[in-house]
Amino acid sequence: MSTNLYAKENTQNLAQLKDLAPEQLKAFNDFNVEVFKEGALTVKEKEIVAVAIAHITQCPYCIDAHTRKAKSAGASLEELVEAAFVSAAVEAGGAVTHSTHVHNAKNEDASDVLYARSNLKNLSKLGKFAHVGFRGYTAFSAAATKEGKLSAKFKEIIATASGIASQCPYCIDVHTKKAEKLGATSEELAEAIMVASALRAGGSYVHMANMIQSYQD
């Protein structure tokens, strides 16, 4: 086995899946094909979403594969970088918004509902105690989601899918509302969410290559 755990040649091990789990492999492949078909979102848009989500799932195989597919579909490097910055901003936002639980943990009278929207009022406390950093986060989030090579609407669609992938209910709520306000349809959001689902599954799928290699060593 290569000393590089993420050597591309490791993916050759995936060929063994057709013998190890043929039914599951076919179902996964069929799922993936359906998700990336042209629909309310174009194939190019779906691949851009996929590249952004792959940065959240931290799967180098997925980043490589979907960057190449996005490029083939017509995406520019500027568009892909903007999309990746959206996912980075949502990841930052997930950490910031979940800080509300720190304040609740110190407050015996806090609601027992862990993900109550009312928890977000505690963000003002984070801004108070870490005002410089919080101001920097706010500026970063605004810069990442503003109109650029990608439209503000499409960036909010990416952000919603990123919230799904990062499992941040606050991010999902905020960015879904922003996306809809900018004109995103339910179909567009649903298709972006399915891309996020496929990328979550795909990360597990492709890492089976490492599992097989480790088993054989």
| pLDDT score for 1 | 44
Count Cβ neighbours within 10 Å for each residue of 80-109 and write b for 16 or more, e otherwise. bebbbbbbbbbbbbbebbbbbeebbeeeee
pTM passes above 0.85: yes
Instruction: Tell me the C-alpha distance between 206 and 165, whole Å.
Output: 17
- Tell me the per-residue pLDDT of 45-95, one tens digit each, with 9 for 90 and over: 999 999 999 999 999 999 999 999 999 999 999 999 999 999 999 999 888
Tokens found for residue 151: 């439209």
Summarize the confidence of residues 191-210 as an average pLDDT: 97
pLDDT digits (tens, 9 = 90+) for 139-181: 999 999 999 999 999 999 999 999 999 999 989 999 999 999 9
Domain ranges of the chain: 39-216
Distance CA 131, CA 43 (A): 41
Could you name the CATH architecture of 39-216?
Answer: Up-down Bundle (1.20)
